[in-house]
Amino acid sequence: MKVLMKFTDVVDHVSEWCGKIFSFIIVLMMIVLVYDVFMRYFLNKPTSWGMELTTFFQAGVLFLGGGYSLLHGGHVKVDIAYSRWSARKKAIVDLITYLFLFALSVVLVWYGGKTAWSSFIQHKVSTSAWSPPLWPIYLLVPVGGFLLGLQCLVKWMRDLVTAITGKNLLESRVVSGEGGLRG
């Protein structure tokens, strides 16, 4: 049990720090967007890179924030009946449903990795006037899928222990609530 607890702690901390670090991308995205709007509408000198860079930042937030969102229970759920169930029943249902999320993360890692590698080997660039290389953006997909998959595995292990014992023995030491199984 100590090995499981150590593994869940490490993954929780990685997800938490990734979420905190990459949340600053939103601030950078806002700065670039405001600058681009100012240049375009007030000085009549639009940038060739502003909108595309904002899109790249948005992709970073989307893919690298998945594990953080899962840790904090931020993914969408239909909880009409779910909220009334016992911890054990919730865990049993989540054991099944999180297999689909884990499968999705495997697909993101596999196909995203192939696409990123292919774009790196082929030196693919954007078709815009700025034409940055695309492989760093494509690399966000498998990295984000891997982080999401790790957090999903941790959630699944927590649910398995809860389904077997009826107790939340692998509670997160990073967050309380849905993702950490407290409450």
> What is the distance between the alpha carbons of residues 46 and 25, in angstroms, rounded to a whole number?
22
- pLDDT at residue 177 in the model: 66
Model confidence band, residue 179 (pLDDT cutoffs 50, 70, 90): low
Q: Return all residues near 36 (Cβ < 8 A) that are at least 6 apart.
A: 46, 47, 50, 51, 54
Residue 173's nearest CA partner among 22, 18, 6, 2 is 6
- pLDDT at residue 84 in the model: 87
pLDDT(24) > 70: yes
> Both ends of the chain: CA-CA distance in Å?
21
Query: What amino acid occupies position 134?
Result: L
The per-type count for the chain, helices as H runs and strands as E runs, is 6, 0
Question: Strand pairing partners for 133?
Answer: 125
Average pLDDT, integer, range 1-12 = 91
Q: Which two tokens stand for residue 71?
A: 């840790």
pLDDT(183) > 80: no
pLDDT tens, residue by residue, 62-115: 999 999 999 998 887 777 888 888 889 999 999 999 999 999 999 999 999 999
- Asked if 146 and 4 touch (Cβ cutoff 8 Å), the reply is no
pLDDT(171) > 90: no
pLDDT tens, residue by residue, 123-167: 999 998 889 999 999 999 999 999 999 999 999 999 999 999 988
Is 0.85 surpassed by the pTM of this model? yes
Average pLDDT, integer, range 47-57 = 92
- pLDDT at residue 106 in the model: 97
